[in-house]
Copies of this chain bind each other. A is one copy, B any other.
Amino acid sequence: MIKNVHHVGVVVRDIEQALGFYRDTLGLRVHKIQTMDDQGVRAALLTLGDSEIELLQPVVDDNGVARYLERRGEGLHHVCFEVDDVDGDLRALQKMQVELIDQEPRIGIAGRICFLHPSAMDGTLVELCEPIPS
């Protein structure tokens, strides 16, 4: 069901400052920067071979990313696995009684996505993503 690491999500306080390292020092290419007002986050996607680094900066005080930053500080936030059929995989996980955050896929910056609950994965927040062809 899982094809690849689609991206690794990193929470930062300030995307512009973080790009000083990821883009300017490591030389990674930024292919998208977008503020998602409905999710209260600003995201930058950097190309890394077949995968991506997703930098996430909260732009509100009361969402999961803001609470993560407050509680744990900057750092690795989630890993996203690419799948072909996010609906089918979500149903399969529901049948296996895996604890989920999203019971239905929704649209994220990377495509049609859903998040599993960290308790399902020993504390690791996992996202599944079925990319939408651009």
Contact = CB atoms under 8 A, between A and B. Distances in A.
Interface residues of A, number: 41
B48 A4 contact: yes
Contact of A82 (B49, B79, B96): B49
- As for how many copies of this chain the complex holds, the number is 2
Given A4-B49, A49-B3, A25 B123 contact: no
A74 interface: yes
Nearest to A82: B49
A5 B48 CA distance: 7
A90 interface: no
Contacts of A13: 122
Contact of A2 (B17, B27, B72): B27
Interface string A1-13: 1111100101011
A108 interface: no
A75 to B, nearest CB: 4
A8 to B, nearest CB: 5
Interface centre among A13, A49, A122 (most CB of B within 10 A): A122
